[in-house]
Structure 1
């Protein structure tokens, strides 16, 4: 960052004024005293310096990647490495599909501990039919690997996620089913976003959206969902990479697909997520928060279609965005109410969200003393002193 700042002829104080980021943080980053900075902060600097966020980003620090999940996922890592399976009976395709549906339900119910136990067995069982060939067996294994990648990305075990999702994309492409392949790519783009590989996430999402773009007049809901989610991933990468025009265009296209559908489509058993007007509206809220427009974010949040049924993880992420908009407006009590709600409703999901920890850290920093409820919440999100 220092080199870009000097090229622009800005002092640290002037960059602080332009970006709205504390001068003390800029000094710590440039002096190497602070290694980890939120991507929203980096984006503020990128906007002030008129560069992409990617130009300022480094790799995700190791301390942010594992969050204590490495050892817990060791059996899953071993299963992905293709260790010999101990399967007495060759599983049937129908049996595997049923097992996958149950596992996906566990994922969306935030039952991560149980899922971590089940998935190594499921990975090995999915390998057995593939040895006998056939696109159907590859599609089943792709679904299993995509679920592994989703769990590992959610719990920040990025090395496991990368292995699983590379396999999922490869298997899905070999099936010849473009929507199946796009589904795996959508999850891989989420991993790239979490790893701050913004340009790669944007490029992959855009390329695949172009590849599978449907004809609106006769596209199925599944085709529209896959295309729409690729656009949402691309928009998320573009807005974080300080490319607002690209982000808006992709969001506009995604909205056109959602409007064509008319309602949320999908279930916990198909492509791991839902898509429709509510999902797109929630992602519009997310983009507004990234752009640091809290009033617009809250207005957009009030326009989320009532009675919609997005998957729990998308809905939970949306609530974090709403909470952050309140933090930006210094409406800390409203933000705390939302975080407390999530601590009760998603106790396994919330501790894996660095976003929630950063918000609570901001709130705690503004208070001289903490209430018992705030201390309880700090423990729930894993906020360290």
Structure 2
């Protein structure tokens, strides 16, 4: 059987045929563990790029007869299950435009709808409507109120309270959109910047809860608003998240270019630059390093990280006082992304040396960031055959940000890997982590 298009279904079947764990399969293909988890989780909703499709083709050609039989059986099972789910969902709309009852178009023209839809739509559905251009006709928020909601949204994100953030954002965005509609001149420009910052927050939320396409739409709208407003630094901060989304989607070269170009455009004179300027520049370099490591160019990633380290040394350790609400770049950021890079380079011991910087200097780092970093530390510990340490690290990450960690594919992949080692008594306690993570959607 020749595979014309490699999707997550075919990837899962190939791994089943080889009887690999996700860790073993990632090593075999030369990709990240997170990528394998993302492909399998999204199934037919994701198509691999040329580079990894070629790797899959090569691996598939090398299957022996027994492995090929397992591949065909696993693929048939996956397609049957997908067809069954699709049949159950046929006729069910993705979202409904009947609620709220009164909507406005982006131009401000009213659209009446006398029907009364479900008034209890969840936050994601409401965000989807607004990103599609259907904004509730609500009273405009004052500029000071919008600024406060920007700070609040990012506080909820960094505090790992994603459920609260999901419920708060739709109303905040609706009020900001209404304010932008009636504002003129300089006030309109300022509100557009605040609206872009809210959309930026929404994009980060959506990216983490597996609505990557909606996240991309939100970040596109945010980037457009800041480009029009001429706010160079806010736009640079937004482009950092754009690079992260490109990396998350497997578009690694584009992600490097996005972050590197944005960093070059705002490169500061470190002796005189503001803390905000340095923090945004440093975070862009972190994202460039992250994407470069995913391409396998670990040397380039280390070059970016050396610049990150220089920027971090100019900032204090108190994250809560950052002048950019979306930014938590600091002294330990380079080490954090360095862990990811060294894991990718198959140097777990070097990764653990950098991890010591993170775990010893975590004062003030927001729960969202620290829990995410700890998951990477656990991956390095597994690579260094310290399963017990990895279990303890994952448990710490779960206790620190219980809601947030459930949305990290790598946490699920590492837990599955540890659970598969049933004969190893050192993995006692991983069952509690698995129970906490539950099903991942």
Report the TM-score, using the length of structure 1 for normalisation: 0.80
Aligned to 1:161: 215
1:124 aligns with 2:182: no
Secondary structure at the aligned position of 2:137 is classed as coil
Q: Counterparts of 2:241 and 2:400 in 1: how far apart (Å)?
A: 24
Secondary structure at the aligned position of 2:314 is classed as helix
Unaligned ranges ≥5, structure 1: 4-24, 47-52, 64-68
Query: Contact 2:136–2:174 (CA<8 Å) still a contact in 1?
Result: yes
Query: Contact 2:282–2:308 (CA<8 Å) still a contact in 1?
Result: yes
Aligned to 1:19: none
**Pairs within 5 Å for 1:130-209:** 130-131=180-181, 132-133=183-184, 134-209=188-263
Query: Contact 2:259–2:285 (CA<8 Å) still a contact in 1?
Result: yes
1:340 aligns with 2:326: no
Q: Counterparts of 1:190 and 1:104 in 2: how far apart (Å)?
A: 17
**Pairs within 5 Å for 1:255-266:** 255-261=309-315, 263=317
Q: Counterparts of 1:115 and 1:270 in 2: how far apart (Å)?
A: 18
Q: How many angstroms does 1:316 deviate by?
A: 1.3
Q: Counterparts of 1:261 and 1:175 in 2: how far apart (Å)?
A: 28
Q: How many angstroms does 1:342 deviate by?
A: 1.9
Aligned to 2:146: 96
After the TM superposition, which of the residue ranges 104-113 and 299-308 deviates more from structure 2? 299-308
CA-atom RMSD, angstroms? 3.3
Q: Counterparts of 1:214 and 1:359 in 2: how far apart (Å)?
A: 39
Query: Contact 2:276–2:322 (CA<8 Å) still a contact in 1?
Result: no
Of residues 378, 401, 405, the one that matches 1:350 is 405
Secondary structure at the aligned position of 1:130 is classed as helix
Q: How many angstroms does 1:178 deviate by?
A: 1.0
1:322 aligns with 2:367: no
How many residues align? The count is 345
After the TM superposition, which of the residue ranges 259-268 and 106-115 deviates more from structure 2? 259-268
1:170/1:248 CA distance change after superposition, 3 Å: same
Q: How many angstroms does 1:84 deviate by?
A: 3.7
Aligned to 2:14: 28
1:285 aligns with 2:336: no
Aligned to 1:376: 432
Aligned to 1:111: 161
Q: Counterparts of 1:269 and 1:215 in 2: how far apart (Å)?
A: 18
1:86 aligns with 2:137: yes
Q: Counterparts of 2:269 and 2:304 in 1: how far apart (Å)?
A: 17
Aligned to 1:363: 418
Q: Counterparts of 2:169 and 2:274 in 1: how far apart (Å)?
A: 31
Aligned to 1:7: none
Q: How many angstroms does 1:79 deviate by?
A: 1.9
Q: How many angstroms does 1:367 deviate by?
A: 0.8
1:321/1:124 CA distance change after superposition, 3 Å: same
Q: How many angstroms does 1:104 deviate by?
A: 1.7
Of residues 52, 76, 97, the one that matches 2:127 is 76
Query: Contact 1:320–1:356 (CA<8 Å) still a contact in 2?
Result: yes
Query: Contact 2:150–2:325 (CA<8 Å) still a contact in 1?
Result: no
Aligned to 1:219: 273
Q: How many angstroms does 1:376 deviate by?
A: 2.8
Deviations 1:30-89 (A, max 9, x none): 98999x88995477369xxxxxx975236xxxx9xxxxx99951111012222142313x
* Structure 1 runs, 4 residues or longer, greater than 6 Å off: 30-34, 36-39, 369-372
Report the TM-score, using the length of structure 2 for normalisation: 0.71
Deviations 1:339-385 (A, max 9, x none): 1122222110111011011111111111149988433321212358x
